[in-house]
Amino acid sequence: MNGLYIFIILILSIATIILVKYSISLRSYLKEFMKVSKDISNKQFDSRVKGQMSGEIGVFANNFNSMIDTINITIKDITDKNMQLKSIMQSVSHGILAIDTKGKILLINDLAKIMVDGNQKLIPEGKNIRQFIQNQIVLDSIIYNMSGENSTVIQKNISKDTIYKIKIDPVHFEDTDAVIGFIINIENVTEYVKLENMRKEFVANVSHELKTPITSIKGFVETLKMTDNLDDDTKNRFLTIIENEATRLTRLIDDILLLSTIENKTKKKVEKVDLFEVFEEVH
């Protein structure tokens, strides 16, 4: 019986030793997992579970490391795409602003920060437009028009010498009607509006301005054609008036050509024509 007790005690001792060693090893592995998980939570994605582990713990460790690799690749891919998107936005010649339906800023380029008089003390991403945009006219225009499901274009006089065209496009979720945000395009159209007003004003006056010299030229030409016995002084006076009116008409045509050149932003070759010489040749 004594031998049996000794054998049982020996078996229990060995089992206890194995269990203690396994517990120590398991505790060490758990500390390793806790360390790596803490590193990952601190965005240290180069951290990995180290050590040679066997059995289910070893499989778990391999899967855990593979998961970290996948997360790292995914984050790198998202970071690269985000950098590409930011580069594209910075290269756009207009102010671009992306917000969600609650007005939180998702993306904004540098030009938009300037155009909306952005609060320089704040990082705009993640902030509400009410916190960041300090130009009240722009802010009110966005807030008032960001509830619709269709694109909206508005033109606002920001100041005496500055005019903005603000285009607000809703962003729909995939192919549904659900709106998940808005893309806001802000363009400074001051020069365009000034040119357009200049063109409208010129067009409004050009008919009257052209009729006067044309009527005068036609009248004196008819007089010269119908009167054969005009003395030289009268004829020369009529021809001088025709020449002056032709010169005036030439200036008006030059103004029209200049306006057309400005609108087309291209240089055109203009040849001056002496209308009096043309009239003499025709007459």
pLDDT, one tens digit per residue, over 205-257 is 777 777 777 888 888 788 777 777 777 788 788 888 888 888 888 887 887 77
In this structure, are 105 and 182 located in the same domain? yes
Of the three residues 124, 158, 188, the one that is the final residue of a domain is 188
In this structure, are 79 and 39 located in the same domain? yes
d(CA 116, CA 109): 11
- CATH number for the domain that contains residue 198: 1.10.287.130
Please give the average per-residue pLDDT across 52-76, as a whole number. Answer: 79
In this structure, are 182 and 208 located in the same domain? no
Is residue 51 assigned to a domain? yes
Instruction: Supply the range of the domain harboring residue 250.
Output: 193-282
Is residue 277 assigned to a domain? yes
pLDDT at 232: 78
- CATH number for the domain that contains residue 162: 3.30.450.20
Task: Give 266 or 259, the one with higher predicted confidence.
Answer: 259
Is residue 89 assigned to a domain? no
Is pLDDT above 80 for 269? no
pLDDT at 283: 44
In this structure, are 44 and 104 located in the same domain? no
The structural domain count of the chain equals 3
**Residue 133 pLDDT level (bands cut at 50, 70, 90):** very high
Give the residue among 3, 57, 61 at the shortest CA–CA distance from 26.
Answer: 57
In this structure, are 264 and 198 located in the same domain? yes
Is residue 16 assigned to a domain? yes
In this structure, are 264 and 217 located in the same domain? yes
Is residue 225 assigned to a domain? yes
Treating both helix axes as pointing N-terminal to C-terminal, what angle do 190-226 and 232-264 enclose, rounded to 10 degrees?
A: 160
Helices within the chain (DSSP H only): 2-41, 55-91, 110-115, 129-132, 136-145, 190-226, 232-264, 275-282
φ, ψ for residue 159 (rounded to 5)? -150, -175
Would you say 161 and 190 are in contact if contact means Cβ atoms under 8 Å apart? yes
d(CA 186, CA 177): 24
Of the three residues 121, 153, 188, the one that is the final residue of a domain is 188
Please give the average per-residue pLDDT across 121-132, as a whole number. Answer: 92
Bridge partners (DSSP) of residue 170 are 182
Task: Give 277 or 193, the one with higher predicted confidence.
Answer: 193
The first and second tokens of residue 26, run together, are 């398991």
In this structure, are 55 and 131 located in the same domain? no
Is residue 90 assigned to a domain? no
pLDDT at 282: 41
Would you say 135 and 142 are in contact if contact means Cβ atoms under 8 Å apart? no
In this structure, are 101 and 177 located in the same domain? yes
Is residue 107 assigned to a domain? yes
Is pLDDT above 90 for 129? yes
Treating both helix axes as pointing N-terminal to C-terminal, what angle do 2-41 and 55-91 enclose, rounded to 10 degrees?
A: 0
As a whole-number percent, the residues of the chain with pLDDT over 90 amount to 17
